[in-house]
Amino acid sequence: MIDAPPLLIFDLDGTLAETAGDLIGTLNFILGKEGIAPLPLSEARFMLGAGAKALIERGYAAQNVHLDPARLQRLFDDFLVHYEARIAEESHLFPGVVAALDRFEAASWTFAVCTNKVEGPARKLLKALGVADRFRAIVGQDTFAIAKPDPRILQKTIDAAGGDPHRSIMVGDSRTDIDTARNLGIPVVAVDFGYTDIPVRDLRPDCAISHFDALWDAVRALDLARSPT
């Protein structure tokens, strides 16, 4: 049997791309429609990472407003319409992403995205950023009706990309990503510039980096560490 190629699975928001401006801008649009004061980006940035519904809930909770399920669903629908219309007005890839993908691809690595974003906006964003075709699979929380940190979404992402968990490494920015990788039993590299209210190094990922230029050495160290000697 031919071994599956090695696979890097990336989170999207706060890992591959800086998306806070467009996401929080959309949240503030929703809040503003109901006469609720906007949230400063610096405060709301750390509400990101669990998907749009969670962001809306957290945004309203910060204003001491409770949302019942029906109202949350209506706001979520409005959120998606507005967000997709401005999908990449302020969003951009983090420095070094494209160069890192190029280097790993040259070494026969493959790539996938596993995000708690809805799949449609995730694909649209990656296309707008010019990298959608770099990923063998792009999986959102609605793709299999499973969200991180449930390890099944990571396993299904690996399967969809034609990978093998024993040859896969997760790259993320938060406790959710770290827990998802641990729950499946694969290594995880954390970037320290993403969306987390806890310093990511305190969450004890297998490795933490501050720039994508460091990803090659981090992955090589992890890959060699678990290779048979």
CA–CA distances in Å: residue 38 to residues 4, 5, 34: 47, 46, 11
| 11 included as an active-site residue | yes
Instruction: Give me the DSSP letters along the chain.
Output: -PPPPPEEEE--BTTTEE-HHHHHHHHHHHHHHTTPPPPPHHHHGGG-SS-HHHHHHHHHHTTT----HHHHHHHHHHHHHHHHHTTTSS-EEPTTHHHHHHHHHHTT-EEEEE-SS-HHHHHHHHHHTT-GGG-SEEE-TTTTT--TTSHHHHHHHHHHTT--GGGEEEEESSHHHHHHHHHHT--EEEETTSS-SS-GGGG--SEEESSGGGHHHHHHHHHHHHS--
Q: Which residue has the tokens 């959120």?
A: 79
Identify the CA nearest to 153 among candidates 113, 101, 204, 94.
Answer: 113
Number of other residues whose CB lies within 10 A of the CB of residue 201: 12
Indicate which residue of 3, 11, 68, 192 is catalytic: 11
Residues marked active site are found at: 11
